[in-house]
Chain A
Amino acid sequence: MNIGFWNINGKKLGTPIRDFAIINQLDILILGESPYEPSELLLILNQYSSDYFYAPEIICKKIQFFIKFKPELFSLIEEKNRISVRRLFSAKHGVVTLVAVHYNSKVNWSNEDQAAQSLIYKNLIDSVEAREGHKRTIICGDFNMNPFDVGMVQSTGLHAVMEKKIAIKQSRIIDGDSYDFFYNPMWSFLGDLGKGEVSGSLYYSPAKPINYHWNLFDQVLIRPALINDFVDDELDIITKIGKIELLTKNHTIDTNYSDHLPIKFKINI
């Protein structure tokens, strides 16, 4: 199953969204900051076929899902304004939980605020996993945090680690309490020697002492139970859609499209 996420920065990008979905054969297209009425975008996505359905939300208006199968196979489990939790039918596992997030921005929230809020996300995910009776969980979206930010790493947050070898230990004990791991494959993109053509999904280079230039805010995390199903080679930060270059000649993001680059991944479920 191919899944793609793109924060389109409130822009009606039109055909690049369609081509992102079609070229990458996305079974699930997830959009953040979409200005579209779902029906409007559905007509664009289905211009040459009738492949995509819209999977409606109840309260989470910040994330939209377009799927290649009937919405009945992709039911809602729980939502908050910035998080949508879905039950995805899987031929291999029966069901898998797919969580999409659009986390609070660093513009309005400090790193400490984000870290504090990640406890809420952890509790929500733990609660869903307990109710669903399994830990086959995938989280993707715009976390507005880098993989190394405290909220992504701390045990009382998303607790996402950079190596499969660590994640497959399932959990670790701290002060008598057990904390489950997520595996975060996005660490692999950091730096010139890393995976892919870029080191992040958002380029921001202010004249301030601390400046990462590339930020890797758009990520996918998976629970250890799904690590063997995750196809490493299919994970990518997309810099080109057909003939459209999403990067400028200076190797920054062409914000005529969005200030974020899309990501895509494949999981054999």
Chain B
Amino acid sequence: MKTIEDLWPEDLVRMDIPSPKEILIEQANYLTERTKNLLVGEVKTSAVMIKNEGENYINHEFIIKAPFMGNYQFVLLKVAHKLSIYPLTITDELNEESFVIYDEGEFKRTLAQILRSKLVKDAINSLVGRIGYSSI
């Protein structure tokens, strides 16, 4: 039987480029690790169809949870993109700002800017302090 050759491109799936979700999950894991599990970072993903645009959007919510405070939680930031990923929109929920991002480098820089903002640091310190381990 004659074998039909693989017509897919060699770089069909580029494993070397992390998706926004993977980057968010990594940061969520760092938060959990850095706070010794007092806080837990979580990424919740959902797909929505914007009817009037006829487009599927994938939404990621970066949630910070405090298991020792009755599972208190807040959404730190949101990321929304189409299947093509870039450009994407990242929304800083605490500072109430949104940014349109065109590539991975810009995404990481903006994410770092949000995670390092004073409001975010204050919120995390307030949470950890409330739990009673202020010396992490």
Contact check, B70 vs A76: say whether CB atoms are below 8 A apart.
yes
Measured in the bound complex, the distance between the Cα atoms of B69 and A59 in whole Å is 14
Contact check, B69 vs A75: say whether CB atoms are below 8 A apart.
yes
Measured in the bound complex, the distance between the Cα atoms of B69 and A58 in whole Å is 12
Cβ contact of A76, chosen from B69, B93, B96, cutoff 8 A: B69
**Total A residues in contact with B, Cβ cutoff 8 Å:** 12
Q: Classify chain B's interface size.
A: 10 to 19
- CB of B99 within 8 A of chain A? no
Contact check, B71 vs A131: say whether CB atoms are below 8 A apart.
yes
- Given A58-B123, A58-B127, A58-B130, A75 contacting B72 (CB threshold 8 A): yes
Q: Which of B64-104 contact A (CB under 8 A)?
A: 69-75, 93-94, 96
Contact check, A58 vs B94: say whether CB atoms are below 8 A apart.
no
Contact check, A81 vs B70: say whether CB atoms are below 8 A apart.
no
Q: For B69, what are the chain A residues with a Cβ–Cβ distance below 8 Å?
A: 75-76
In the complex, the chain A residue whose C-beta lies closest to that of B63 is A78
Contact check, A80 vs B70: say whether CB atoms are below 8 A apart.
no
Q: For B127, what are the chain A residues with a Cβ–Cβ distance below 8 Å?
A: 58
Contact check, B93 vs A78: say whether CB atoms are below 8 A apart.
no
Cβ contact of A77, chosen from B70, B94, B130, cutoff 8 A: B70
Chain B: interface secondary structure? mixed
Mask: chain B, 92-124; 1 = CB below 8 Å from A; 0 = not? 011010000000000000000000000100010
Q: For B56, what are the chain A residues with a Cβ–Cβ distance below 8 Å?
A: none
- CB of B45 within 8 A of chain A? no
In the complex, the chain B residue whose C-beta lies closest to that of A75 is B70
In the complex, the chain A residue whose C-beta lies closest to that of B94 is A59
- Given A80-B93, A81-B93, A81-B94, A59 contacting B74 (CB threshold 8 A): yes
Contact check, B75 vs A58: say whether CB atoms are below 8 A apart.
no
Q: For A79, what are the chain B residues with a Cβ–Cβ distance below 8 Å?
A: 72, 74
Contact check, B71 vs A59: say whether CB atoms are below 8 A apart.
no
Contact check, B70 vs A59: say whether CB atoms are below 8 A apart.
no
In the complex, the chain B residue whose C-beta lies closest to that of A77 is B72
Measured in the bound complex, the distance between the Cα atoms of B93 and A81 in whole Å is 8
- CB of A266 within 8 A of chain B? no
List the interface of chain A (C-beta within 8 A of B): 56, 58-59, 75-81, 87, 131
List the interface of chain B (C-beta within 8 A of A): 69-75, 93-94, 96, 119, 123, 126-127, 130
The 9 closest A-B pairs by CB, nearest first: A76-B72, A75-B70, A59-B123, A79-B74, A58-B126, A78-B73, A58-B123, A59-B74, A58-B127
